[in-house]
Amino acid sequence: MGSKTFEIIILCGAVSPEREVSIRSGHHVAKLLSKYYPIQLIELNENRIPSELNPETSLIFPMIHGNFGEDGQLQGLLDDGGFIYVGGGRESMELAIDKSSAKKRVWNCCVPVLSEIAFSGDEWSNFTFSEACKRLGNSKLFLKPRDKGSSIGCSCICNEDDWKSRVQTIDAGLWLLEPLCTGKDLTIGMLHGEPLAILEIIPMHEFFDYESKYTPHGARHICPAPLGAQLTLMIKNYAQKIFHACACRDWCRIDFFMADDGKIYFLEVNTVPGFTKGSLYPESALGASMGPDEVLCKIIAPALDRMISQ
């Protein structure tokens, strides 16, 4: 590491619907990395960088999921402050958090995506359930926020009653409607543009919702996913294209869906994946014969190089 003295600052928490999971991720990462590096864990209670941090001696490892941590706000502040940090930059984060924009970018590099209707909450009354089904070519729909993670706010809309019920609760934010298909949820961790192992996720509920993600036994994971050599290679090739098309850096996790007819669709990029004991990214790494300590050290290695050479 040369003669330069530095500390790895793990930022977690912040004001976000994903605060609790972020804190769990931050504590787990801090515990693992403290075996190898000087670590300081900071739980943010507001969406700002602590004024006491020094860009000359602080290497930032953001472990803030969703709002602030994955929408480019934090990265913009870090850039303005002259900090070196782990993970993608502001523009990459802004792209990936917007599922519709990310899908357009991914479609342009020849990776299939699900059809969609993108709208704001105040436009909900502009169309009916039957019109939405006709536009998307499906009799059931899946509604999700366009710019949030962890399946927060997602719901299945299977009939007119579901549609009318959802009207009462939808806010003025940005939303997506997609066809609700049957098939398999798949995800893959990425390390410096290289794919790790593919996982199949079998949730306890109708879809992989927040509870399925973050409660014990909320979902069953199969790693590696039993897809066969050809499909495995295709998904890994797709993942590499997506990583570079979305200007990801260091690490991310990419979600796919395999419909019953065998077609593969890109869903979204998670630019700051969860890293708790039960999270998908470390399991994807383990499926590629890397334990959590090893993969974390590999994730931060380029940022350490950037820190030393600045």
Tell me the C-alpha distance between 207 and 145, whole Å.
15
240 with 303, same domain: the answer is: no
Q: Residue 151 pLDDT more than 70?
A: no
Q: Residue 127 pLDDT more than 90?
A: no
255-296 pLDDT, tens digit each: 999 999 999 999 999 999 999 999 999 999 999 999 999 999
149 with 214, same domain: the answer is: no
154 with 279, same domain: the answer is: no
Q: Do 276 and 139 contact (CB within 8 A), yes or no?
A: no
Closest to 101 (Cα-Cα) out of 123, 85, 87, 116? 116
Q: Residue 213 pLDDT more than 80?
A: no
State both tokens at 304: 């350490």
196 with 143, same domain: the answer is: no
- Amino acid occupying residue 115: S
Tell me the C-alpha distance between 263 and 240, whole Å.
18
- Amino acid occupying residue 98: D
161 with 218, same domain: the answer is: no
Answer with the residue of higher pLDDT: 18 or 205.
18
174-198 average pLDDT score:
96
235 with 145, same domain: the answer is: no
200 with 285, same domain: the answer is: yes
Q: Which residue has the tokens 């590999």?
A: 298
100 with 192, same domain: the answer is: yes
* pLDDT tier at 14, thresholds 50, 70, 90: very high
102-115 pLDDT, tens digit each: 999 999 999 999 99
Q: Residue 216 pLDDT more than 80?
A: no
CA distances from 38 to 34, 57, 80, 180, 309 (A): 6, 11, 24, 47, 19
Domains held by the chain: number:
3
Q: Residue 210 pLDDT more than 80?
A: no
Mean of all residue pLDDT scores within the chain:
92
Domain for residue 125, yes or no?
Answer: yes
Give the per-residue pLDDT at 33.
Answer: 98
Give the per-residue pLDDT at 121.
Answer: 84
Q: Residue 90 pLDDT more than 90?
A: yes
The CB-side HSE value for 279 (13 A sphere, CA atoms) comes to 25
Give the per-residue pLDDT at 208.
Answer: 47
Three-state SS at 48: coil
Contacts for 248 with CB less than 8 Å, ≥ 6 apart: 88, 92, 96, 190, 193, 242, 269, 271
48-65 pLDDT, tens digit each: 999 999 999 999 999 999
Q: Which residue has the tokens 């290289």?
A: 194
Q: Which domain covers residue 81, as residue numbers?
A: 7-87+293-309
60 with 134, same domain: the answer is: no
